[in-house]
Amino acid sequence: MAIIIDGKKVAADLREKLAAKVADMKKSGVTPGLAVVLIGDDPASRSYVSAKEKSCHDLGMYSRDIRLPQETSEGDLLALIKELNQDEEIDGILVQLPLPSHINESNIIVAIDPSKDVDGFHPMSVGRMILEQDTFLPCTPHGILKLLEYSHISTKGKKVVIVGRSNIVGKPLTNLLFQKKEWGNATVTVCHTATENLKEETLQADILIAAAGRPEMITSDMIKQDAVVIDVGVNRVNDSSKKRGYRLVGDVAFDEACEKASYITPVPGGVGPMTITMLLFNTVQSAEARLS
């Protein structure tokens, strides 16, 4: 039976350390500040933004929650970002994605000052990451690395298979895992919609990371005995027995996977709590630069 990797517990430990660091920084007159911009009224995005705001408050950080109507123009959003870039109270800027279709996402990401790009999406941040230079690491991949570290799971020499090639998870995580760093030195295979014989690939994985956004697509027959399974997916499936009419599941069929895996992350409560935590980590790191 698999050992559960408790993302809530790891996140709580990291946040405790961050809170102590924030308290020390405040004594020097610096309060880490995060600006979160939400366009429109998507329920999932709204809930996520509220969680970020609460997390900032819990750590003693400054949070600026900016909510704009769906019809906000790209020009107005770019003007807001320019103001935030110059605002000395703000150490990190996060524009909640996805954006309305009339706004070019790439233009918005590039407009954010790289020194405040706590999401790690700016091309300069991505380039520095690839070159193994100091930069803000994207939050979900960084959170996964922390989960492996806290669970004492080494990636050195291991075969890692990632299912999913998104800019947010699959691509950056691939790069991080084969770097010559304490979290890397793995042999990485990336699978996607054009991959033939997906099962043959996943069965080779010492560490299998599912980040495809397809509910319970990874079944036990696709998992090597005693593999480590990291489930990044968060999917809503209809369930009339639940008060909300749905339940959350990952990209892995959790119950059956537990019979094969040595370690596994649950959904919810696995990777999810780490994403916001690493966003706070990056914001604190940005604020530390003000002190130096």
Annotated binding-site ranges for NADP(+): 164-166, 234
Rounded Cα distance, 47 and 8, in Å: 18
Residue with tokens 């990056």: 282
Residue 260: what residue type?
K
Residues whose CB is less than 8 angstroms from the CB of residue 4 and which lie 6 or more positions away in sequence, other chains included: 263, 264, 265, 266
User: Binding site, residues?
Assistant: 164-166, 234
Catalytic residue among 21, 96, 146, 260: 96
Q: Is 116 a catalytic residue?
A: no
d(C-alpha 147, C-alpha 266), whole Å = 12
Alpha-helical segments (H) within the chain: 7-27, 43-59, 74-86, 105-111, 123-130, 139-150, 170-178, 198-202, 254-257, 272-291
Interatomic CA distance for residues 200 and 50, integer angstroms: 41
Q: Which amino acid is at 200?
A: E
Look up 52 and say whether it is catalytic: yes
Torsion of CA 50, 52, 57, 60, to 10 degrees: -170
At residue 281's C-alpha, the angle toward residues 275 and 283, to 5°, is 110
Token reading at 288: 């530390």
Closest CA to 94 of 84, 103, 104: 84
Whether 179 is catalytic is: no
The catalytically annotated residue of 21, 116, 117, 119 is 119
Catalytic positions, written as ranges: 52, 96, 119
